Amino acid sequence: MSSESVEALCPVAGFWRRAGAFVLDSLIMAAVGAAVGMVLFDALAGLGSYGSLLGFAVPLIYHGLLNSALCGGQTLGKRLLGIKVVGRDGAMLSSGRSLLRTAVLLGPYYINRSELTSAAFDTAFNTLLSEVFFGLLLVTAYLIVFNRGTRQSLHDLVVGSFVVPADSVGSILVPRVWRWHWVAAVLLCLGAGAVGELLQSKTIRPEVASLLSTARSISEKPGIYGVSINTLYRTGNARKSVSGPYEVFNIKFAVKDKQQFNQHTAKEVVRLVISKDPTVTDVDLIKVTVVYGYDLGFSSGWLQTKFSFSPTQWLED
């Protein structure tokens, strides 16, 4: 079937109207999230990376219920751009189907940001989980852009839904999804797995494995999450007493309790790092960034403070 005949049979909404509606809905939720964050900042910060799981509930309810028969198959963004979600028979989706549709679309993104995948730094399970979610995101993005015949992505295909102009009535007349799209989806999943295995193989290198082990030790301290560490070489002056190239050991982490948002916590972490790897004292400078805030996935707010001292100064009482 030619692309012209496909377009003639297809009463579905185009890519840009769907993308525009999603952007508008995201802006609406971000504004609501920012307002809530101003009032409940400390409470949300205390959730740590589990805030993404709580944040998932908001778009799940927003998109899941508004896109169902309860609200005419339209979120606020879809209403503004004149499109709606229906089944193949042209009827609105039930709440259950609509919630499932939203879960398939947004679930991988939110779960991948939570402690479900960030807690285990070097486990095979963590790698597998990341590969699965990354593959699902790639397939979803591919189908949204390239499945021009039905404009269905993975979440639409799972529940048999379509996005159509708001004034559309009757059954949806579209051809089946082109079989080569399924081939491309499989290849994308395999590619995501290959990338994940490649990244995992690099952690076998002693220097990388050591950094991962240290990061995991830091994350095991109560109230600390989102740890990242690395070593960089800089040029210029690390301190007035040092000229030319110098080596910097960077540590960044987030805290759940405002009482931990200080230099004392930074010093505890540095001393833990040095106890795990005494060679860190050979660097010229240890920089620590302590972050305090929340991330709901659709809205976030952060404060951060930085401390930079030589290893000797960090070890001083």
Does the structure show a pLDDT above 50 at 95? yes
- Using the CB atoms, write b or e for 119-141: b if 16+ within 10 Å: eebeeeebbebbbbbbbbbbbbe
Q: Using CA atoms, how far apart are residues 289 and 28, in angstroms rounded to an integer?
A: 31
Looking at the fold, whether 158 and 18 belong to one and the same domain comes out as yes
Looking at the fold, whether 95 and 66 belong to one and the same domain comes out as yes
Q: What's the mean pLDDT in 79-89?
A: 93
> What pLDDT score was predicted for residue 233?
65
The last residue of one of the domains, among 168, 202, 236, is 202
> What pLDDT score was predicted for residue 148?
80
Amino acid at the residue 35: A
- Using the CB atoms, write b or e for 212-225: b if 16+ within 10 Å: eebbbbbbebeebb
Looking at the fold, whether 301 and 178 belong to one and the same domain comes out as no
Looking at the fold, whether 104 and 121 belong to one and the same domain comes out as yes
204-224 pLDDT, tens digit each? 455 556 777 888 889 889 999
> What pLDDT score was predicted for residue 140?
83
% pLDDT > 90, the chain = 44
Contact at 8 Å (CB) between 92 and 72? yes
The structural domain count of the chain equals 2
> What pLDDT score was predicted for residue 29?
93
Amino acid at the residue 92: M
Looking at the fold, whether 188 and 50 belong to one and the same domain comes out as yes
The last residue of one of the domains, among 154, 186, 202, is 202
Compare 120 and 8 and report the one with higher pLDDT: 120
Listed residue (173, 134, 137, 131) closest to 154, CA to CA: 137
Q: Using CA atoms, how far apart are residues 32 and 70, in angstroms rounded to an integer?
A: 22
Looking at the fold, whether 211 and 80 belong to one and the same domain comes out as no
Banded pLDDT at 243 (limits 50, 70, 90) = low
Two structure tokens written together for 88: 């193949």
* 45-49, 179-183, 277-281: least confident range: 179-183
For strands 224-234 and 246-255, give the pairing: antiparallel
Looking at the fold, whether 197 and 231 belong to one and the same domain comes out as no
Q: Using CA atoms, how far apart are residues 164 and 175, in angstroms rounded to an integer?
A: 15
Looking at the fold, whether 69 and 47 belong to one and the same domain comes out as yes
Looking at the fold, whether 60 and 145 belong to one and the same domain comes out as yes
Does the structure show a pLDDT above 90 at 264? yes
Looking at the fold, whether 163 and 19 belong to one and the same domain comes out as yes
% pLDDT > 70, the chain = 81
> What pLDDT score was predicted for residue 246?
78
Compare 243 and 163 and report the one with higher pLDDT: 163
Mean pLDDT score across all residues of the chain: 82
Looking at the fold, whether 26 and 41 belong to one and the same domain comes out as yes
| Domain, as residue range, for 293 | 206-315
Q: Using CA atoms, how far apart are residues 108 and 92, in angstroms rounded to an integer?
A: 25
> What pLDDT score was predicted for residue 186?
81
The last residue of one of the domains, among 202, 229, 253, is 202
CATH of the domain at 226: 3.30.300
Q: What's the mean pLDDT in 239-266?
A: 84
Does the structure show a pLDDT above 70 at 9? no
Looking at the fold, whether 212 and 299 belong to one and the same domain comes out as yes
111-130 pLDDT, tens digit each? 777 665 454 444 555 666 66
Residue 298 buriedness (CB in 10 A; 0-12 / 13-18 / 19+): buried
Q: Name, of 9-18, 83-92, 141-150, the range with top average pLDDT.
A: 83-92
